[in-house]
Structure 1
Amino acid sequence: TSRPNTAGGGEGGSKDGGTTVTSGAPIAFQRLSSALQQSPAHKAERQLRRAIETQDLRAKITAVLECVGFEFAAENLPANERSALLMAQYYVAFRAGENWAQVRSQLRNENVKPIAADAILLENKLEEVFNTSRHVKCQQMHLSEESVEDESRKEAAFFDTILLQRDQEIRQEQIKRSALVPKSLQKRKAEKEAKKKMLAKSLVPQSSTSDLEGVAS
């Protein structure tokens, strides 16, 4: 029994005893992928991703956007991304409200009753954060509606483009068909008669030509 020779087949494969052996393209791809994963650049990228996943970068992102300017960062952004940007814009206020809520919760758990001034201050801080969150939520609702309208406009424009392309194709097909259809016999006769009339009008009669010669003599 002859065994197919798979060595040195190359991309085109080899033939042995009428049996075609295809190249091991998936194996080559796996080897290439494995080699790329072992490369220093890929290892550095994996380490960076792991480091990012274990850290809370919201404060750092907020600090960068604060330096750049939230209004500048929001330019030319779609509505859904501007909605996410609002969370970064008010991140400091939300984080402060979270801290105030933890203080109130800890006081209640330890059965500590603050003095009137501290209790009023605590409630005022929490009320400020609550009002801020309502304001942000309202803005995000408007941005959500804007996002839906943008998607509707894009979808309508997409379908209009398809319909326009379809109409153009139909018109082109009609033009091609009309060019291939032979002219009717009556239309051909009418064109011939029109050509004869034009030719007859363009010809000068012989009698009028001789009269002109007699007058000239």
Structure 2
Amino acid sequence: MSSKDVVLGRIRAALADGTPAPEIPRDYRRGPARVDLDLLVERLIDYKAVVHRLVPAEPEMGIEGSGPQVGPTVDKIDVTAAIRAAISDILPSGTVVVPPGLPAGWLPDGVEALVDDGLPADRIAATDGVVTASAVAVAETGTIVLDASPDQGRRIISLLPDLHICVLRTDQVVASVPEALERLDPTRPLTWISGPSATSDIELNRVEGVHGPRNLHIILLPA
């Protein structure tokens, strides 16, 4: 009898009485009532992502002047124009792959959109970058999550291009991973992004761009 047989036998024995699996507690590790956006920015920059932080005009929101990188002050009616300007600063010209539901008006005039309607991998990889929205972000870990919604698209489009520009609203940021899981549908294809693609060997030599984009830019919007 192999070790595999022993393990599977024990599992079958444990399940033989038909006892249902217990409910998994989800009320642990709650963060503070006010999400620490500075911590999110700090974590992202530590991971070598670039943060373009658009600061709301209302000072009571408690964001202006905080964080390592602070962008221009904008109000709600200027958000689309501010996104377009931020993308233009990152990539003034070229071709980017975009999901079918990306909001109109985000891309500057010099950037051509290649809408992913089932594009082959080689065409996606040949673009200058990808622009997506996001589903949720975790301040504690500096993680951005995509859930394949229409404004985020297939997982492949965020993995093949060398540049990923991701737009994130402050009301999508939560303090901890358990809080992020509450907002996410586990049946959807989730992509968890903590900085540009990187790995390291046993000697901790960091290598970037192994299984995804080497350059990650986050445009952080007011809610």
Q: Which has the higher helix share?
A: 1
Q: TM-score, normalized by length of structure 2?
A: 0.22
Q: Which has the higher strand share?
A: 2
Q: Pick 1 or 2: higher relative contact order, CA cutoff 8 A, min separation 6.
A: 2
Q: TM-score, normalized by length of structure 1?
A: 0.23
